[in-house]
């Protein structure tokens, strides 16, 4: 008989293995069986973070989602997916380890809170993001890609969450949030191809780099020359800044990941060290644990309970000791 938590994935680093095991424990707790995973050689594996039929609730259990609201919103977004959106149904409903449903579990309660009370949602989000000039929260959304992304940076990387706000002067702005759980930020570089099939820096991204002038001059030259590749963290930042520029919005970017995450701080430093001084404070990494604790402290009781469950599911690594 196989281990109830499932088998280990040999390629997992220690932190990823811990996250996978924590989600395997959650699967057992909600009474779901493992969905077998077939590798390229046709061999079946039983990794504990995969389930079946996550889009079908089991009574009052919403499987990969902590609330009925988050589940229903996920159903809605999949059903109304736009051609350019990158929401993946199987990842969203059946992969317990994925950061995509994790973002829904974290930000859908804030979205629901905002629908019920703008005052409460603003109070909670201001407490979680005290460095940002948030006076009034106006929207919380997930998996956001500007419809005109081709005219911005040319990149289709979704903002995992976006919080829209007004500052004390009434200026509108947003915080673009990239959530990471066990996975690293992408290292793949976006390219165009010339008529001979050779890779070259993406023209629209280079146009964005030139228009924003957010990098130090020598860095900008190296990006344009293709000597510095525009990996995910660069592309996310460029898309957010171009969206803010074209819409006349204050713009900020956050990477939200567990404090134990092994690579996010280094990836952020690689970007910030190359930005002009006036752009450095527009992007930061926030530990997921700190973010959730601040939310719990100021949330209404019924929401604090939801975020406590979030904390237990994703961040209670003491379960593994």
For 93-118, what is each residue's pLDDT tens digit? 999 999 999 999 999 999 999 999 99
Summary count for the chain: helices (H), strands (E): 13, 9
Give the pLDDT confidence score for residue 19 in this predicted structure: 97
Q: Percent of the chain at pLDDT above 90?
A: 85
Q: Where does the pLDDT of residue 1 fall: very low under 50, low under 70, confident under 90, or very high at 90 and above?
A: very low
Listed in sequence order, the DSSP H helices in the chain are 14-29, 68-79, 89-94, 99-116, 118-128, 149-152, 203-212, 217-224, 232-247, 264-272, 277-280, 288-298, 301-315
Q: Where does the pLDDT of residue 197 fall: very low under 50, low under 70, confident under 90, or very high at 90 and above?
A: confident
Q: Are strands 159-166 and 199-201 parallel, antiparallel or unpaired?
A: unpaired
Report whether pLDDT(199) > 90. Answer: no
> Locate tokens 């050779």: which residue?
198
Give the pLDDT confidence score for residue 201 in this predicted structure: 81
Q: What is the pTM of this model?
A: 0.95
Closest CA to 12 of 22, 20, 3: 20
Report whether pLDDT(71) > 50. Answer: yes
Condensed to tens digits (0 to 9), the pLDDT of residues 153-194 reads 999 989 999 999 999 999 999 999 999 999 987 777 777 777
Tell me how far CA of residue 88 lies from CA of 92, 143, 195, in angstroms.
Answer: 6, 11, 32
Q: Where does the pLDDT of residue 195 fall: very low under 50, low under 70, confident under 90, or very high at 90 and above?
A: confident
Q: Phi and psi dihedrals of 162, rounded to 5?
A: -140, 130
């Amino acid at each position: 008989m196989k281990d109830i938590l499932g088998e280990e994935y040999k390629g997992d680093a220690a932190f990823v293995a811990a996250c996978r095991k924590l989600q395997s424990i959650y699967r057992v707790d909600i009474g779901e069986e493992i969905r077998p995973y077939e590798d390229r050689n046709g061999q079946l594996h039983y990794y504990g973070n995969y389930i079946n039929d996550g889009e079908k609730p089991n009574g009052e259990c919403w499987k990969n989602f902590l609330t009925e609201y988050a589940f229903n919103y996920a159903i809605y977004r999949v059903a109304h997916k736009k051609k350019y959106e990158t929401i993946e149904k199987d990842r969203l409903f059946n992969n317990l380890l994925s950061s995509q449903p994790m973002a829904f579990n974290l930000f859908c309660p804030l979205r629901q809170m905002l629908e019920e009370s703008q005052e409460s949602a603003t109070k909670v989000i201001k407490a979680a993001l005290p460095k940002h000039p948030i006076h009034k929260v106006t929207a919380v959304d997930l998996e956001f890609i500007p419809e005109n992304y081709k005219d911005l940076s040319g990149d289709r990387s979704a903002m995992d969450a976006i919080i829209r706000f007004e500052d004390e002067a009434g200026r509108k702005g947003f915080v673009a949030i990239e959530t990471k759980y066990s996975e690293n930020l992408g290292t793949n570089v976006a390219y165009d191809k010339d008529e001979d099939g050779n890779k070259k820096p993406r023209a629209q991204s280079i146009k964005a780099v030139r228009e924003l002038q957010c990098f130090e001059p020598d860095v900008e030259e190296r990006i344009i020359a293709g000597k510095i590749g525009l990996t995910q963290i660069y592309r996310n930042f460029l898309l957010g800044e171009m969206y803010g520029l074209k819409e006349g919005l204050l713009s900020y970017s956050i990477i939200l990941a567990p404090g134990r995450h092994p690579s996010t701080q280094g990836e952020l430093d690689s970007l910030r060290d190359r930005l002009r001084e006036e752009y450095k404070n527009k992007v930061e990494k926030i530990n997921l644990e700190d973010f959730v604790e601040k939310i719990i402290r100021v949330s209404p009781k019924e929401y604090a309970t939801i975020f406590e469950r979030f904390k237990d599911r994703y961040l209670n690594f003491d379960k593994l000791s």
